[in-house]
Amino acid sequence: MQMPSPNPAILARKQALAARLLKVLPPDAVIQDEMETRAYECDALTAYKCPPLLAVLPRTTQEVSDILRICHEEGVPVVPRGAGTSLAGGALPTADCVILGVARMNEVLETDYENRIIRVQTGRTNLSVSGAVEEEDFFYAPDPSSQLACAIAGNIAMNSGGAHCLKYGVTTNNLMGVTMVMMDGTVVEIGGAHLDAGGLDLLGVICGSEGQLGVVTEATLRILRKPEGARPVLIGYDSNEVAGACVSDIIKAGVLPVAIEFMDRPCIEACEAFAKAGYPMCEALLIIEVEGSDEEIAHQLGVITEIARSHSPVELREAGDADEAGRIWLGRKSAFGAMGQINDYMCLDGTIPVSSLPFVLRRIGEMSKEFGLDVANVFHAGDGNMHPLILFDANKPGDLETCEAFGAEILKLCVEAGGCLTGEHGVGIEKRDLMLHQYSAEDLEAQLKVKDVFDPKWLLNPAKVFPLSVTEGRRSMALAAE
Amino acid sequence: MKMMTPQSEAELAEMIAGASGPLCIQGGGTRGLDVEGGVLSTRGLSGVELYEPGALTLVIKAGTPVAEVEALLAAENQRLAFEPMDCRGLLGTAGEPTIGGVIAVNVSGPRRIQTGAARDHLLGVRFVDGAGQAVKNGGRVMKNVTGYDLVKLMCGAHGTLGVLTEVSLKVLPQAEAMATVAVAGVGLSQAVAAMSAALGSPYDVTGAAYDPDSKTAFVRVEGFGASVNYRSGKLAAELADLGDTSITADGERLWQGIRDVSAFHGKDGDVWRISVKPSDAVILAPRLEAEALQFDWGGGLIWARVAEGTDLRARINVPGHATLVRARADTRSRLGVFQPQPGPLAAISEGLRRQFDPKGILNPGLMG
């Protein structure tokens, strides 16, 4: 993965820059020791590493503003970092950048049940936002699988989703306002506890901009009352086509389950070996969860199982109680762990139209043979977000490269099928060079024009999202202006 | 001046590339947002590109009438869940609202509090920017974080950043049943408390409105019949402490009236639409000195009818924003249709307009 070569002029100014930052930050907030900056050399895409020039760990919006103003004046690139759980390399540093980590900004600023909002500093973890409102039976809906560790800042940067977004939406649908610091240090407030921030939907374009438009330090989030209950049903089929048709029929019947998870045979086998959840050995497994009171759950499951039966399942198992529900989810929730035990793996997250599911799975199977690497599929079937897991051996020379090439072909296939490169992980560096498969140069130019407005000097996370060749002119112009 | 009605995106792009003066971008022209300039209508860009009920997706050209979209979806028991308002009654306009107009204005009805706004159902767009360049963003799948979300940026931009030619939408199943719980004999602060309790309940409320004239708050639930009975019963019982509760099964007309603010139809005065934190409605309402008010979104959306020429924004002392929806042209130009933004945000918005509309010809001046 190519990254821009570090600017020697910046590397030479390390001491001076650290000294300037120490004038506005306490000593423990500036990390300059080479051993310690290593902690920030990568995110969850661990195949790529590069220690930053410096890392800074501010505690307040004012400190973030001071840091950005100084870096702006010095012409130093800044890579914002939440909890460092990005699977796409969104927080990968360059050697000449300052990592701005918001992990110390984790306070709850306001909880307001009457208006159903919570305001937090963005270093707070996703799960602890729900934790802060749990005593009143409320929750924050987007639930990425890294929710124990990932920060709201990163959720906003990547517009994170989760298993329950068919009903509750993704981050952008639950974000009502932000305090954001622009690269020149200006602090802006957008939206708040009222609906639909006025004027152009800047909130909408900031969410998912991968830390390239500003650093969000505080967020107003929508919280919801927990449903009375939830229960899953497990349905096994002997073909992907039939499972796909079943999902489509359920949606057409007017039922909107809170989650529809899909696993293919390789995934079922791995999960079963790992978690022993008692899954049937079949080609395709659906886990469908509905919410409500007991009666409401029973009614919805009645509609779902009737449709499922009409497609002749090899297995249909309703959860009678919490214990059975837990067992149904056990295998699915351990899918990634199961894969990790077998091998190194790369997790993709292209999205496809649900109707293309059988075709895409068949092609992935064929490509798996061509590339000589196994692949297992977990899939949010309700919204078409696939998670093919390609298994490889990091210690075997060439395997990572083969895996990446295979991954790129799968993502191109997703685009050809009418979908997109990434449903919830973001582009980062991982999918940067595939962007021209989804968008024309003109389509990308429209996106670059947005960054020009927010960050004219192209200093915020500049080497991400877009192919380096596409952004080169802008990055080098900003450099020349120094 | 003759109206321009391109029949294809390419033709539209040519017209914009060749334009030197201001253009008034129009769908059905029902939203009363005309600016000075040659009218450029999208009504020639009409028709369904793709509809997959099993995937809840619709791709449709921007000039397609909303009525056609709704009929198409209804045939499959689906709908636009964000419940777009029909502005004609309130504004006294004629014509056919288009789906592109709905999206350009980000217009959403009572269900916005539960299912989100128009922007939350918009999956992808095609548009032509002010230089005549056709651009695609987003797609037709529900989860998509590939690059910047210009889809949201275009939704609610009122045509100032580009002219929409095609939109992809997430559609949702129609509800089998609906019930409305009325809480009668309540003042505004009790009504907001009742709506807040309902919206903070686990009963999945899809509408919460208050009519100060009849002193009645309305709470809507939708879904399968048995479930609607269960939840409306629970709500009626839990809200009984706050007022006289009753349940009606047929609320179609009531909610359409709330959506379209039908209480203001044919009545004189300027009409403002104010978005605030729901509990702030109680503080704000008396300060507005309005001739009539209507509350939606649990109190967070206030419709106010006031004497002509009133600068209502000067009376607002809580965070939020106010849009001047109906007024004479001179009032609109004096007060501005949209809430002025603080300096740094205004600068970003102006920067975006300059990038996407370098000639300054797309609905110039409408948003600032």
Alpha-carbon span A467 to A471, nearest angstrom: 7
Domain identity same for B153 and B121: yes
Fold that domain A343-428 belongs to in CATH: Alpha-Beta Plaits (3.30.70)
Give residue B329's domain range. 262-335
Q: Compute CA distances A287 → A280, A304, B73, B173, B345, whole Å.
A: 12, 11, 28, 21, 45
How many alpha carbons fall within 13 Å on the CB side of residue A288? 30
A166, A382 Cβ separation under 8 angstroms: yes
Q: Are residue B121 and residue B90 in the same domain, yes or no?
A: yes
Q: Do B348 and A453 touch (CB under 8 A)?
A: yes
Q: Nearest C-alpha of chain A: how many angstroms from B116?
A: 7
Using left for φ > 0, alpha for ψ between -120 and 50, and beta otherwise, residue A278 falls in: left
Counts of helices then strands in chain A (DSSP H, E): 18, 18
* B73 is a domain residue: yes
Q: Which two tokens stand for residue B267?
A: 């009545």
Report how far apart the first and last C-alpha atoms of chain B are (Å, whole number).
Answer: 25
Query: From the candidates A194, A291, A445, which should be mutated to test the interface with B, based on the most B CB atoms within 10 A?
Result: A194
Mean pLDDT for the stretch of residues B47-73: 96
Rounded CA-CA distance B281/A115 in Å is 11
Closest C-alpha among A330, A332, A427, A312 to residue A379 = A332
The lowest-confidence range among A205-219, B21-35, B114-128, B283-297 is B21-35
Domain range summary for chain A, segments of one domain joined by + = 8-101, 108-225, 227-338, 343-428, 432-481
Cβ atoms of B249 and B215 closer than 8 Å: no
Give yes or no for a contact between A423 and A383, defined as CB atoms under 8 angstroms apart. yes
Question: How many CB atoms sit inside 10 A of residue A393's CB?
Answer: 13
**Distance separating alpha carbons of residues B117 and B84, to the nearest angstrom:** 9
Measure CA A127 to chain center: 14
B161 and B87 together in one domain: yes
Pairing of strands A138-139, A224-225: antiparallel
Distance in angstroms (rounded) separating the CA atoms of residues B336 and B206: 32
Write the single-letter amino acid at A134.
Answer: E
Domain A227-338 and domain A343-428, same fold? Reply is: yes
| Residue B268 included in any domain | yes
Q: What mean pLDDT is reported for chain B? A: 96
Lowest mean pLDDT segment, chosen from A254-258, A295-299, B31-35, B104-108: B31-35
The answer to whether the beta carbons of residues A69 and A185 sit under 8 Å apart is: yes
Evaluate whether the domain defined by A108-225 bears CATH number 3.30.465.10.
yes
Q: How far does B336 lie from chain A, in Å, by closest CA?
A: 12
Of A173, A251, A419, the CB nearest to B141: A419
Is the separation of the CB atoms in B209 and B183 below 8 Å? Answer: no
Residues B67 and B196 in one domain: no
**Residue from A294, A368, A287, A359 nearest A327 by CA:** A287
Task: Report percent pLDDT > 70 for chain B.
Answer: 100
Q: How far is CA B90 from CA A416, B134, B164, B327, B334, in A?
A: 45, 34, 25, 11, 21
DSSP states along A284-303: EEEEEEEESSHHHHHHHHHH
Q: Tell me the shortest Cα–Cα distance from A418 to chain B, in angstroms.
A: 7
Nearest alpha-carbon partner for B338 in B119, B162, B156, B161: B156
Q: Domain A227-338: state its class.
A: alpha beta
Residue A359 exposed, middle or buried by CB count within 10 Å (0-12, 13-18, 19+): middle
Residues B9 and B11: their CA atoms lie apart, in Å, by 5
pLDDT at A336 over 80: no
Q: Is the pLDDT of residue A53 over 80?
A: yes
Say yes or no: B109 and B246 in one domain.
no
Which pLDDT value is given to residue B337? 94
Note whether A254 and B176 are within 8 A (CB).
yes
Cβ separation A201–B106 shorter than 8 A:
yes
Comparing CB atoms, the residue among B147, B150, B297 nearest residue A195 is: B297
Whether residue B210 is predicted with pLDDT greater than 60 in this model: the reply is yes
- Residue B30 counted as domain residue: yes
Condensed to tens digits (0 to 9), the pLDDT of residues B70-114 reads 999 999 999 999 999 999 999 999 999 999 999 999 999 999 999
Among B135, B163, B153, B155, smallest CA distance to B24 is for B163
Q: Are A248 and A260 in contact (CB under 8 A)?
A: no
Q: Which of A113, A299, A450 sits opposite B224 (nearest CB)?
A: A299
SS3 state at B67: helix
Q: Does the pLDDT value for residue A108 go beyond 90?
A: yes
Q: Is the pLDDT of residue A273 over 70?
A: yes
Write down the pLDDT at residue A481: 65
Contact A102, A78 (CB under 8 A): no
Distance CA B142, CA A169 (A): 9
In this predicted structure, what is the pLDDT of residue A343? 81
Contact B54 A249 (CB under 8 A): yes
How far from chain centre, in Å, is Cα B276? 15
B224 shares a domain with B271 = no
Distance CA A348, CA A425 (A): 8
Residue A375: the pLDDT is 93
Residue B248 and residue B284 in one domain: no
DSSP-derived pairing of the beta strands A78-81 and B292-296: unpaired
Are A422 and B139 in contact (CB < 8 Å)? no
Find the DSSP H helices in A253-390: 265-275, 294-310, 322-333, 335-342, 357-371
Determine the pLDDT at residue A205.
98
Taking only residues 205 to 264 of chain A, the set having a beta carbon closer than 8 angstroms to any beta carbon of chain B reads 205, 207-209, 225-228, 247-249, 251-256
Is B168 found in the same domain as B90? yes
Instruction: For residues A28-35, give the mean pLDDT.
Output: 96
State pTM to two decimals: 0.96
State how far the Cα of B143 lies from the Cα of B128, in Å rounded to an integer.
24
What per-residue confidence (pLDDT) applies to B1?
A: 57
CB contact under 8 A, B136 and A443: yes
Residue contact B137–A226, C-beta within 8 A: no
Backbone torsions φ then ψ of B16, nearest 5 degrees: -70, -40
Interface of B with A in 149-208 (CB under 8 A): 149-153, 155-157, 160-161, 172-176, 196, 199-202, 204
Reference B277, options A220, A376, A465, A444; nearest CA is A220
Interface ipTM: 0.97
Q: Where among B215, B238, B260 does a domain terminate?
A: B260
A200/B77 CB distance under 8 A = no
Instruction: Kindly state whether A412 is in contact with chain B, defined as any CB-CB distance less than 8 angstroms.
Output: no
The nearest CA of chain A is from the CA of B281 a distance in Å of 11
User: Tokens 């767009």 correspond to what residue?
Assistant: B125
- Point out the domain boundary residue: B173, B189, B206: B173
Rounded average pLDDT over B120-126? 98
Q: Answer yes or no: do A355 and B226 touch at CB < 8 A.
A: no
Query: What is the mean pLDDT of the segment spanning B324-335?
Result: 94
Asked whether the beta carbons of A393 and A432 are under 8 A apart, the reply is no
Please check whether residue B202 lies inside any domain of the structure.
yes
Residue A482 has a pLDDT of 58
Question: Is residue B356 a part of any domain in this protein?
Answer: no
pLDDT digits 0-9 by tens, A414-434? 999 999 999 999 999 999 999
- Looking at CA atoms only, how far is residue B254 from chain A in angstroms? 23
Q: What is the mean pLDDT of residues A246-268?
A: 91
**C-beta atoms of B116 and A293 within 8 A:** no
Q: Helices B188-199 and B225-239 meet at what angle, rounded to 10?
A: 140
pLDDT number for residue B365:
92
* Residue B284 Cα, gap to closest chain A Cα (Å): 13
Class of domain A8-101: alpha beta
* Number of structural domains found in chain B: 3
- What would the DSSP string read from start to end of B222-275? EESHHHHHHHHHHHHHHHTTTSEEEEES--HHHHHHHHHTGGGTT--SEEEEEE
Residue A3 DSSP class: -
CB-closest option in B148, B280, B367 to A447:
B148
Q: Hunting for tokens 């080169």 — which residue is that?
A: A472
Rg (CA), chain A: 23
Averaged pLDDT, A448-467: 98
CB contact under 8 A, B143 and A165: yes
For residue range B261-273, what is the model confidence (pLDDT) as tens digits?
Answer: 999 999 999 999 9
Whether residue B350 is contained in a domain is answered as no
Last residue of a domain, one of B119, B147, B173: B173
pLDDT digits (tens, 9 = 90+) for A59-72: 999 999 999 999 99
For residues B169 and B181, state if they share a domain. Answer: no
Percent of chain A with pLDDT over 70: 99
Q: Which has the closest alpha carbon to B175: B231, B216, B119, B218?
A: B231
* C-alpha angle B80-A381-A366 in degrees, rounded to nearest 5: 130
- Residue matched to tokens 């009218």: B39
Window 97-126 of B, Cβ < 8 Å to A: 106, 108, 112-113, 116-117, 119-120
Query: Regarding beta strands A98-101 and A54-56, do their DSSP bridges make them parallel or antiparallel, or are they unpaired?
Result: parallel
B368–A199 CB contact, under 8 Å: yes
Is residue B349 within 8 A of residue B368, CB to CB? The reply is yes
Mean predicted lDDT score pLDDT of chain A: 94
Within A185-299, strands assigned E span: 187-191, 215-222, 224-225, 230-237, 259-264, 284-291
pLDDT of A57: 98
Whether residue B58 contacts residue B48, with contact meaning beta carbons closer than 8 Å, is answered with yes
A-chain residues near B275 (CB < 8 A)? 194-196, 198
CB contact under 8 A, A116 and B199: yes
Q: What are phi and psi of A168, to 5 degrees?
A: -105, -5
For CA atoms A212, A216, A217, A222, the dihedral sign is negative
Alpha carbon distance A368, B289 (integer Å): 69
Strands B177-184 and B244-248: antiparallel
pLDDT, tens digit (0-9, with 9 covering 90-100), for A80-106 = 999 999 999 999 999 999 999 999 999
**Nearest chain B residue to A207, by CA:** B149
- B residues 225-244 near A, CB within 8 Å? 226-227, 230
Q: Is residue B190 located within the same domain as residue B165?
A: no
Summarised one tens digit per residue, pLDDT across range B149-170 is: 999 999 999 999 999 999 999 9
Q: Long-range contacts made by residues B189-194, C-beta under 8 angstroms, separation at least 24?
A: B189/B282, B190/B217, B190/B242, B190/B243, B191/B215, B191/B217, B191/B295, B191/B299, B192/B278, B192/B279, B192/B281, B192/B282, B192/B295, B192/B298, B192/B299, B193/B242, B194/B219, B194/B239, B194/B242, B194/B243
- Continuous H helices in B275-328: 280-284
How far does CA A384 lie from the centroid of its chain? 15
Whether the Cβ atoms of residue B77 and residue B190 lie closer than 8 Å to each other: no
Q: Write the CATH number for B86.
A: 3.30.465.10
Same domain, B130 and B160: yes
